[in-house]
């Protein structure tokens, strides 16, 4: 046989694989619907581990166990994502309805027109009361001083990474994560009416926004960058000052709100630019359909501490989605780690893992349990 003959066979097998994978996905969707109707959690780590172990035992081909594990983890992950997507719309509608009945207020960092405002509306609907707060410090005090019932805080960006001030305030607060939302971020260069791109000598915005536009700023070294408290507030100041040589980096919503002129669009380094926001509450109002858990662990400064803390998750096949380290205040060279875990506080495997960590004297604090958000399509 020739190379073309072999390729033709591969193409035919690819089509058959795709058909079988879609057939499996349909069956998984049926399972998910049955679980939802019965009030059973979508995640079943024991079942997932059994599937992978069975496939490794059945494997008699050229693929090694590592390849089989990775392939079926990806298949299981996609099946769970399809199940989650099928129930997400109804769950979001129920959340909006439940919160709107009480006319809730939600605080966000920044001025009106900020990306955080977009995120709050996407997560909770148009009818909520939006409470802008100028700084992260004031944002995390919003529930304590009675100005808002909930807080919406950015936690990470797909280009700039972790929002460290937000995370640090979260650790110091008594708030719990009860929801999350992910929105696309498209940055514009916004100036006063009558200005042109060539006239701009300085641009201001939040440091995270500036960091997301490094290529644009590097390509225009004549433009001085100025760090500010927030994106929308920068637009408001630029428009109020009326200086044709100054501009701000923010979203289209801010330009429309303050009457700014968009001089250039999509300044972000990549169109795949998303920011993840957490909905925070002073109460442990965790949703029953939570499928993601966030926690923080503190480790002693000794060899193997991190490995020992993560090993129980791996042993039980618990999907560790994110890990981020931060120094522990007042304890030099000791670190805490923020973890996102697939599961909830009702999952037996998760409960056993957390209990094992505590028995091992690993300081563990659950920050929240919530339904994971979908990454939107641009």
Choose the catalytic residue: 115, 136, 167, 277.
277
Q: Are strands 224-227 and 292-299 parallel, antiparallel or unpaired?
A: unpaired
Mean pLDDT taken over the chain: 88
CB atoms within 10 A of CB 129: 12
CATH number of the structural domain 292-370: 3.30.70.260
* CA separation for the pair 161, 117 (Å, rounded): 20
pLDDT tier, 298 (very low <50, low <70, confident <90, very high otherwise):
confident
pLDDT digits (tens, 9 = 90+) for 67-89: 888 888 788 877 876 776 665 54
| Phi, psi for 267 (deg, rounded to 5) | -80, -15
Q: What is the pLDDT of residue 332?
A: 77
Q: Are strands 274-281 and 176-184 parallel, antiparallel or unpaired?
A: antiparallel
Q: Is the pLDDT of residue 38 over 90?
A: no
> Is 277 part of the annotated catalytic residue set?
yes
Q: Is the pLDDT of residue 101 over 60?
A: no
Per the structure block, which two tokens stand in for 188?
A: 């514009």
Q: For the residues 235-257, what does the mean pLDDT come to?
A: 96
* CA separation for the pair 267, 212 (Å, rounded): 8
* CA separation for the pair 144, 282 (Å, rounded): 9
Among 3.40.190.10, 3.30.43.10, 3.40.50.300, 3.30.930.10, name the CATH number for the domain at 188-265: 3.40.190.10
Q: What is the pLDDT of residue 261?
A: 97
pLDDT tier, 44 (very low <50, low <70, confident <90, very high otherwise):
low
Q: Is the pLDDT of residue 97 over 60?
A: no
pLDDT digits (tens, 9 = 90+) for 186-203: 999 999 999 999 999 999
CA atoms within 13 A on the CB side of 8: 5
Say whether domain 102-185+274-281 belongs to CATH 3.30.70.980: no
pTM, 2 dp = 0.70
Q: Are 3-89 and 102-185+274-281 equal in CATH topology?
A: no
* CA separation for the pair 54, 166 (Å, rounded): 43
Q: What is the pLDDT of residue 90?
A: 47
Q: What is the pLDDT of residue 93?
A: 47
How far out from the chain centre does Cα 63 lie?
34
CATH number of the structural domain 3-89: 1.20.59.10
* CA separation for the pair 84, 79 (Å, rounded): 9
Q: Provide CB contacts within 8 A for 126, sequence distance 6+.
A: none
In the block, residue with structure tokens 């995390």: 140
The full set of domain ranges for the chain reads 3-89, 102-185+274-281, 188-265, 292-370
Q: Provide CB contacts within 8 A for 123, sequence distance 6+.
A: 92, 95, 152, 179, 180, 181, 277, 279
Query: Which is nearest to 201 in space by CA: 189, 209, 193?
Result: 189
Choose the catalytic residue: 84, 95, 275, 353.
275
β-sheet bridge partners, residue 274:
184
pLDDT tier, 278 (very low <50, low <70, confident <90, very high otherwise):
very high
> Is 84 part of the annotated catalytic residue set?
no
- Which range in 26-30, 54-58, 276-280, 353-357 is most confidently predicted, on average pLDDT? 276-280
């Amino acid at each position: 046989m020739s190379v073309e003959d072999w390729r033709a066979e591969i193409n035919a097998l690819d089509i058959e694989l795709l058909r079988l994978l879609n057939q499996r996905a349909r069956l998984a969707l049926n399972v998910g619907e049955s679980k939802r109707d019965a009030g059973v959690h979508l995640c079943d780590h024991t079942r997932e581990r059994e599937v992978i172990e069975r496939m490794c035992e059945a494997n008699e081909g050229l693929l090694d166990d590592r390849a089989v594990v990775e392939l079926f983890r990806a298949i299981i992950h996609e099946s769970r994502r399809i199940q989650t997507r099928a129930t997400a719309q109804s769950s979001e509608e129920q959340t909006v309805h439940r919160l709107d009945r009480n006319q809730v207020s939600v605080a966000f960092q920044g001025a009106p027109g900020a990306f955080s405002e977009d995120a709050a509306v996407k997560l909770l609907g148009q009818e909520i009361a939006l409470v802008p707060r100028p700084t992260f410090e004031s944002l995390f005090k919003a529930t304590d001083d009675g100005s808002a019932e909930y807080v919406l805080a950015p936690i990470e960006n797909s280009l700039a990474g972790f929002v460290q001030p937000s995370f640090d305030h979260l650790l110091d607060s008594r708030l719990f994560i009860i929801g999350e939302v992910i929105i696309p971020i498209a940055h514009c260069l916004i100036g006063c009416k009558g200005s042109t791109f060539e006239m701009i000598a300085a641009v201001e915005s939040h440091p995270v926004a500036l960091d997301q536009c490094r290529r644009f700023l590097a390509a225009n070294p004549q433009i001085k960058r100025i760090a500010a408290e927030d994106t929308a507030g920068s637009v408001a100041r630029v428009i109020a000052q009326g200086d044709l040589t100054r501009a701000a980096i923010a979203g289209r919503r801010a330009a429309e709100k303050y009457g700014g002129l968009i001089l250039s669009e999509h300044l972000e380094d990549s169109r795949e630019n998303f920011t993840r926001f957490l909905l925070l509450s002073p109460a442990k109002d965790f949703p029953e359909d939570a499928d993601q858990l966030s926690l923080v662990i503190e480790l002693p400064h000794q060899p193997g501490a991190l490995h020992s803390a993560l090993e129980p998750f791996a042993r039980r096949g618990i999907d560790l989605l994110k890990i981020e380290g931060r120094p522990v205040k007042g304890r030099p060279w000791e670190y805490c780690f923020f973890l996102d875990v697939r599961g909830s506080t009702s999952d037996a495997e998760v409960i056993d893992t957390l209990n094992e960590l505590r028995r091992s004297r690993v300081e563990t604090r659950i920050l929240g349990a919530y339904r994971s958000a979908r990454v939107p399509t641009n």
